[in-house]
Amino acid sequence: MAIDVFTQILKDHDSIEDLYRLFQGETDPKNREKIGNDIIREATVHTYTEEIVVYRAYQEYMPDGKKYAQDSLKEHEDIRKMLAKLEFLKVTDPEYAEMMDLAMKEFVKHVKEEEEEILPRLKRYLNDELVDDLGEEYARIKPTVPQKPKIHD
């Protein structure tokens, strides 16, 4: 049986926030670079997977889900734009830390809204079987999405 989709999403959110805390506490540039790259990859993979599986479910199962999906997608795109900029900065450049802080500030805000408002709302429209099906799909799609942010401009 698949792990339910909500558990997987919360696990992704927590592990990205943990990485950011590690990043903030790390002073060695090599380690900071490695953790920074982990954050870029994990946040990119999480946002793409969520869009394919979960934001589609917003539209399919929540009566006003289209609006939630559009707004959330826009927030993901803003976050990925910042992550993409990080790839062109050196970790020792002060701009790197500033951009990372900005991206993570947006990420934390976005995640809080998901966890406190949107996901509990989605849950009300799903039965156990759907939660499992979405969990299975989430686990299947996650290894297939891009690991680097694509820029659409």
Output the smallest distance, CB 18 to Fe ion, in A.
15
Stretch that binds Fe ion, among 36-44, 61-69, 108-116, 127-135 (CB under 5 A): 108-116
Candidates 11, 106, 126; CA nearest to 65 is 126
Q: From the CB of 29, what's the least distance to Fe ion, in Å?
A: 29
Q: Which is nearer to Fe ion, 114 or 137 (CB)?
A: 114
Minimum Å distance from CB 119 to Fe ion?
8
* Closer Cβ to Fe ion, 4 or 114, answer by number: 114
Q: Tokens for 35?
A: 């953790």
Closest CB to Fe ion among residues 72, 96? 72
- Output the smallest distance, CB 7 to Fe ion, in A: 13
Q: Give the 3-state secondary structure percentages of the chain, helix then strand then coil, rounded to 5.
A: 80, 0, 20
Report the site for Fe ion in 11-50 (rule: CB under 5 A). 50
Burial of 136 (0-12, 13-18, 19+ CB in 10 A): middle
The answer to whether residues 120 and 62 touch, using CB atoms and an 8 Å cutoff, is: no
